[in-house]
Amino acid sequence: MKRPLLFFFLFCFAKGAFSQACAVSTGIAHLDVNNARVILQASGDFFWDRSDGGYFVPKTDNVATMFSGGLWLGGFDPGGNLKIAAQTYGASGGYPEWWPGPLDAQNGTINAPVCSNFNRLWPIKRSAISAHIADFESDGDIDGPVPQGVLEWPGRDNPESLSSNGFSLPIGHELAPFFDRNGNGKYEPMLGDYPKVTGDQAIWWIFNDEGGGAIHGETNGTPIRAEIHALAYAFEGSNDENLANTTFYDFKLFNRALEYLDSAFVGLWLDPDMGCYLDDYIGCISSEKLAFVYNADATDGQPDCACSGLPTYCNEPPITGVKVLRGPNNNNGEDTGFSSFSYSNALAPPTGNGMLPQLFGTWPDGTPITYGGSGYNPTSTDIHPFALDGNPSKTDEWSLCTVDMPPLDFRMLISSGPFHLEPGESTSICYAVMTKFGVNYPCPDVTPLIEMGNAIEEFCASLSPANEPIAAANTTQFYPNPLVSEGKLSTNGEQMESVRLFNSNGQLVRHYNGLKTNELAIERGGLPAGLYYYAALLGNGQLATGKIAIQ
């Protein structure tokens, strides 16, 4: 733990108020397919394990660039009353703002058993999906065991949920996204349906702010009756440094209340720690929809490379940025993107409801953010909703380097809005968390991070909605089949870009990359006898699949 957490926001509620309410989430998962290892909670807080930070990059060095994060959402009902859920550290003390599970679509409520069922996250790997697709596409039937992640996936009305997850899903409720092969609206993995996700690894979970009537322990706010579908994902990035150091987060926000939510904002609250938490700076480039954390000097640590026993980046601190890739749409259908950026620090944190105005783009006392200095100047009329909006390397731009503020344990809030949600309506927001290594300190130039963000944005725009190639006609053949020692996979048209080979359990056993060939020799090597599936990505973007029996 980097420091004792001061739960200045907790209220003294009677314990009996929580007797029938949902319990604090305990489910946890790790996104770790590339250079980062990220801890995720089955709720509205993430990047920590409720005790210590959990966004490690590079994962092999166990150095964290983020200590924790949380989702904020707020707006107004038809009577002009504030409805809010804003998670920071409350779950660690037993006072969360979000709980696991979906809300009843009719009345926007949930009970403790449903919360308990969904007190988990659902990880899936691209290799498991590809193996499942290859199994079905080869002959229109499922022959091998369905990979566990595919079987458990909480798609609408999954008939395998009771046996695989231990509980039945709520009937007819939209849950995790999936490819519906027969178009009947139900997720049926035994009929060839599969999770519809992006990335080489993805993790899906669902949470809400109603909590079975539980009290919002940090804000004491009125529940929104919001339901959040979360998807975190990443790419291996073996041939792409940008993808290797980036993770993605999609949040789909549903209004399950019986009344509209107006003038709403969604916020990503972060407690960033660039290794040592005692010598950090933060800032933003509003035109790029980008916020970032960087080291205050050339050496990460206080003093030198030491930091109370915590791992540090020492003489090679990177920069970590958060880019808003997609924001909620406003009433005109426009992406609200990046609407304000504010901050606080451990010495003077916003308390109780005092933190809520930051979600709507002002300081805790309602004073507008103004350009220059700390951004807090009640006498200034130069209103600028983006604090510290400048490149630290440029002496004529606004940053903590030019302000020369002492390094502190900063927290930051990225807000997007306003938007409006009618009952049952939804909207989405997507973030990319990027880490750039090899930057020059002190007061680093964030241009390489901006360029990284632009490349990531362009890459995301090129992806299909499911990031899954269209199945090709029967353009490949393998001979001899069954395989004894060596065989050849060949195509009669498009060249193969890559080939993946899976065993009957959906485990990736071989990966041939960078091919650009019409013929690939596959040796048995140490592969045991059994049924295998191949998935060949062709030059036209289609996926050719088939089976190989090994004797």
pLDDT at 2: 59
The DSSP secondary structure of 261-272, one letter per residue, reads EEEEEEEEEEEE
Q: Biggest alpha carbon distance in the chain?
A: 82
- Compute the residue count for the chain: 551
pLDDT at 139: 83
CA distance 205 to 44: 10
CA distance 261 to 168: 31
Average pLDDT of the chain to the nearest whole number:
90
Q: Enumerate residues 6+ apart whose C-beta is below 8 A from 212.
A: 20, 21, 22, 99, 109, 110, 111, 112, 115
Closest CA to 40 of 199, 248, 254: 248
CA distance 224 to 209: 7
pLDDT at 513: 84
The answer to whether 177 touches 145, Cβ cutoff 8 Å, is: no
Question: Residue 21: how many CB atoms within 10 A of its CB?
Answer: 18
pLDDT at 448: 97
Query: Which residues in the chain land under pLDDT 50?
Result: 3-19, 349-353
pLDDT at 6: 38
Helix, strand, coil distribution of the chain in percent, nearest 5? 15, 35, 50
CA distance 454 to 331: 27
- Could you tell me the CA-to-CA distances from 503 to 72, 77, 202, 491, 524 in Å, in that order? 43, 54, 21, 22, 12
- Could you tell me the CA-to-CA distances from 449 to 183, 435, 454 in Å, in that order? 42, 8, 9
What are the backbone angles phi and psi of residue 179, rounded to the nearest 5°? -90, 120
Give the three-class secondary structure for 117: helix
What are the backbone angles phi and psi of residue 214, rounded to the nearest 5°? -65, 150
- Tell me which of 3.90.1150.10, 1.10.1060.10, 2.60.40.1840, 2.60.40.1220 is the CATH number of domain 476-550: 2.60.40.1220
The DSSP secondary structure of 58-100, one letter per residue, reads STTTT-EEEEEEEEEEEEE-TTS-EEEEE-SSGGGGT--S-EE
The DSSP secondary structure of 157-184, one letter per residue, reads T-TTHHHHHSSPPPTT---S-EE-TT-S
The answer to whether 417 touches 350, Cβ cutoff 8 Å, is: no
How many Cα atoms within 13 Å fall on the side-chain side of residue 398? 14
By the 10 Å C-beta count (0-12 exposed, 13-18 middle, 19+ buried), 356 is classed as: buried
How many Cα atoms within 13 Å fall on the side-chain side of residue 337? 13
pTM: 0.88
Q: Which residue type, as a one-letter code, is found at position 166?
A: G
Give the three-class secondary structure for 12: coil
pLDDT at 469: 54
- Could you tell me the CA-to-CA distances from 491 to 199, 495, 520 in Å, in that order? 26, 7, 9
